[in-house]
C-alpha cells in the first residue's frame, strides 16, 4: 500500500484505481442516494492517507450532490424544514476540521461502520423510527452538529443525518433530495475545513476534477436503475447499501 502518495509522479495503476473507485461510488450514490464518500474513503484509504482521500472527494461529491439536490422539486420547502440541521453540520465540520488527520479519525471510522450496520439491520427488519414534527425543532441542530463532527473525523457524511432524515417519513424522491441537500452542505464545510488546514493542494484538485467524470457516469447509471425500482425494493436496496458500507468501514479494524 502506498501511503504519502506523490501526485506529480503518480503511477498509472493508482489513477486507474481512483477512477474505478469513483465509478463504483457514483453508481452506489445513484441507486440509494448516498455512499459516494463512504465507498471512496474506504477504498482510497488502501492507497493514501485519509486527508488526501478526503481532498479527492471534494469535486465529485459537491457536483453529484448538487445534481441530486437540484433534480427534485421541493428544494425551498426542504431547506426551510432542515436549515437547523444544516447549520449544525456546517459548524461541526468546520469546528472539528483537524480531526481527520489525527488518530481519532481511524477509531471514529470504525465506530461509524458499527453504527451503520446496526441501523441497516433495524431497517431491514422493518422496524420504523419516526420523528414527530414538534420534535424537529430541538432535534435538528444537535443531529447536524454530531454529523458535522463525525464528518470532520472520518470524511463520511451519513451518521446520524441519514437515519434522522429517514425518520422524517419523507417520500422516496424527497428523501433523495434531502440527502443531497445535507451532503452538499457537508462537502462545502469539509472543503473549508481541509482548505484552512492546507489539506487541498493543486495536484489533488486536478485529480479530484478528473474523478468527477467516472463519478457522474456511475451516478447517471445508478439513477436510471433507481427509477426502475419499486418503493419496497428501493427500501431494501437503501438499507442493504448501508449495511455493506457499514461492514466495510467496521472491518478496517482487522486491516
C-alpha cell at 237: 436496496
Q: What is the mean pLDDT of residues 182-187?
A: 92
Average pLDDT, the chain: 80
pLDDT in tens, 84-134: 999 999 999 998 866 665 545 556 667 667 777 877 787 788 667 788 888
- State yes or no: pLDDT of 3 exceeds 60: no
- State yes or no: pLDDT of 182 exceeds 90: yes
pLDDT in tens, 145-174: 999 988 888 777 888 898 899 899 888 788
Check: pTM over 0.85? Answer yes or no: no
Q: What is the mean pLDDT of residues 53-61?
A: 86
Tell me how far apart the alpha carbons of residues 58 and 120 are, in angstroms, rounded to a whole number: 26
The answer to whether 96 and 153 have CB atoms below 8 angstroms apart is yes
What are the b/e assignments for 203-228, b being 16+ CB within 10 Å?
ebeebbebbbebbbbbbeebbeebee
Gap between the terminal Cα atoms of the chain: 12
The pLDDT value recorded for residue 254 is 54
Tell me how far apart the alpha carbons of residues 1 and 227 are, in angstroms, rounded to a whole number: 38
The pLDDT value recorded for residue 110 is 74
Least confident among 50-64, 89-103, 181-195? 89-103
The answer to whether 19 and 211 have CB atoms below 8 angstroms apart is yes
The pLDDT value recorded for residue 101 is 57
| Cα–Cα separations (whole angstroms), residue 56 to 45, 137, 190, 209, 239 | 11, 35, 11, 8, 26
The share of the chain scoring above pLDDT 70, in percent, equals: 83
- State yes or no: pLDDT of 214 exceeds 50: yes
The pLDDT value recorded for residue 109 is 66
Q: What is the mean pLDDT of residues 76-88?
A: 92
The pLDDT value recorded for residue 29 is 84
3-state secondary structure of 239: helix
Least confident among 12-16, 98-102, 120-124, 229-233? 98-102
The pLDDT value recorded for residue 196 is 74
The most confident of 64-78, 131-145, 189-203, 234-248, by mean pLDDT? 131-145
Q: How many angstroms from the chain centroid is the CA of residue 198?
A: 22
The pLDDT value recorded for residue 91 is 95
Amino acid at each position: 500500500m502506498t501511503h504519502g502518495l506523490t501526485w506529480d509522479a503518480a503511477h498509472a495503476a493508482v489513477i486507474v484505481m481512483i477512477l474505478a473507485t469513483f465509478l463504483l461510488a457514483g453508481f452506489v450514490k445513484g441507486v440509494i442516494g448516498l455512499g459516494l464518500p463512504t465507498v471512496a474513503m474506504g477504498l482510497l484509504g488502501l492507497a493514501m492517507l485519509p486527508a488526501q482521500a478526503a481532498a479527492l472527494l471534494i469535486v465529485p461529491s459537491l457536483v453529484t450532490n448538487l445534481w441530486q439536490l437540484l433534480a427534485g422539486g421541493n428544494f425551498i420547502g426542504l431547506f426551510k424544514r432542515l436549515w437547523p440541521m444544516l447549520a449544525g453540520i456546517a459548524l461541526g465540520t468546520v469546528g472539528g476540521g483537524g480531526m481527520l488527520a489525527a488518530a481519532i479519525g481511524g477509531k471514529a471510522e470504525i465506530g461509524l461502520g458499527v453504527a451503520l450496520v446496526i441501523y441497516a439491520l433495524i431497517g431491514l427488519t422493518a422496524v420504523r423510527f419516526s420523528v414527530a414534527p414538534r420534535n424537529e425543532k430541538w432535534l435538528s441542530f444537535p443531529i447536524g452538529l454530531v454529523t458535522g463532527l463525525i464528518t470532520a473525523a472520518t470524511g463520511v457524511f451519513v451518521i446520524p443525518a441519514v437515519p434522522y432524515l429517514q425518520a422524517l417519513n419523507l417520500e422516496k424522491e424527497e428523501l433523495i433530495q434531502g440527502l443531497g441537500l445535507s451532503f452538499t452542505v457537508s462537502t462545502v464545510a469539509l472543503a473549508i475545513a481541509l482548505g484552512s488546514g492546507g489539506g487541498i493542494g493543486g495536484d489533488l484538485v486536478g485529480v479530484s476534477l478528473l474523478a468527477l467524470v467516472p463519478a457522474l457516469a456511475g451516478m447517471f447509471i445508478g439513477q436510471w436503475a433507481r427509477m426502475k425500482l419499486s418503493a419496497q425494493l428501493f427500501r431494501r436496496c437503501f438499507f442493504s447499501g448501508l449495511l455493506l458500507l457499514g461492514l466495510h468501514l467496521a472491518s478496517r479494524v482487522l486491516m
